[in-house]
Amino acid sequence: MRDEQSGVEQMVYGALAVHLRSQGHTIIDDNREQKDAPDFLFSKDGLLIACEATQIPLADVYQHVFAKVEATLTKSARISVVWPREPHSWLSQAIEKKRYKIADYKRRSKAGKVWLIVHEPEKRAELFDRDNMETWLEPLLKWGATQVPHGFDRIYFWSKRTGIIRVQRRGERAPRVKFELKDGYPTLLGGYSKVRFRTDEKGAVIEQDLNDMQDIEIIVPPIDPKFQRHKPRYTKQHHKPVKISGSSKQVSIEFDRPVRFGR
């Protein structure tokens, strides 16, 4: 727990507070002034409940995959990213990170129950959307919560695109999940560009053709052991910058078509 909430954490707090109040809960405070305390407290019918918020733990991906690739660039590049579609694994990791702190949360907050809300990271919001949420995202999250033993009384998930999802309540059984991996594991595709450009000594506006950009593909390794035994299933997406214009303070890129995310 940090002293100040990030932008995403503020949105998480606001969304869950609205959800809880709609169910008759009373928000007490966000409890952030106490070190190692849960993120906020609320009550219903006299029962004090603590709730800890944590993000999907993808920091290692950013550090070891993206940074490593970008450090090798020698010129401007179009970078395609193939993400494994495994929210069950991301949720399991988030629960693993927090499950050993439940006793401390209860002791410090005097709460009778502890809930966990897992939220999307500051970046990579494209990893979660509402498309087919009931047929793939929600069942996978519910199943992922059962893959790690824990003592949380409830687990929620939040992203800007999905809103609040109740993932698990103590005693609930998860739906059966069957992966069709014959043609590879499911993926999400993304793309971005890293641009090298020059300006004159005064930072004057420039215009430069980018048709010779380097093409790089990043395949983010999956966490799920079942996925690791298969290749990713995807169709390549192409985005072609045709020119760049700007100055040392501002740069804009024109594309011949928008970057698209797909399954």
Co-location of 133 and 46 in the same domain: yes
191 in the same domain as 131 = no
As a whole number of angstroms, the distance between CA 72 and CA 70 comes to 5
Q: Has residue 258 got a pLDDT over 60?
A: no
Identity of the highest mean pLDDT range in 130-144, 151-165, 174-188: 151-165
Widest Cα–Cα separation across the chain: 68
Report yes or no: 247 and 206 within 8 Å, Cβ to Cβ.
Answer: yes
In whole angstroms, what is the distance from residue 215 CA to residue 80 CA? Answer: 8
- Domain limits at 237? 59-84+183-255
Q: Are both 31 and 117 inside the same structural domain? A: yes
Edge-to-edge strands, sheet with 187-194: 187-194, 77-84, 214-219
> pLDDT-based confidence at 35, cuts 50/70/90?
low
| 105 and 230 together in one domain | no
Q: Are the CB atoms for 223 and 87 separated by under 8 Å?
A: no
174 is a domain residue = no
What's the pLDDT tens digit per position in 56-74? Answer: 876 656 666 677 777 777 7
196: its two tokens: 């090298």
**Exposed / middle / buried, residue 57 (Cβ in 10 Å: 0-12, 13-18, 19+):** middle
Write down the mean pLDDT value for the chain: 77
177 part of a folded domain: no
If you average pLDDT over residues 141-161, what whole number do you get?
91
Instruction: Provide the whole-model pTM.
Output: 0.77
**Residue 115 pLDDT greater than 60, yes or no:** yes
Strands (E), the chain: 26-29, 40-44, 47-55, 77-84, 113-119, 154-159, 163-169, 187-194, 206-209, 214-219, 241-246, 251-255
Residues 164 and 53 in one domain: yes
* Cβ atoms of residues 206 and 197 within 8 Å: yes
Find the CATH number of the domain harbouring 30: 3.40.1350
Number of domains in the chain: 2
Residue 178 lies in a domain: no
Q: Using CA atoms, how far apart are residues 246 and 205, in angstroms rounded to an integer?
A: 5
Same domain, 52 and 65: no
Q: Strand, helix or coil at 22?
A: helix
On whether both 76 and 202 belong to a single domain, the answer is: yes
By DSSP bridging, strand 113-119 and strand 154-159 are parallel
Same domain (yes/no): 67, 110? no
Say which DSSP state 259 is in.
-
Whether residues 104 and 48 share a domain: the answer is yes
Give pLDDT tens digits for 72-103: 777 788 888 888 888 899 899 999 999 999 99
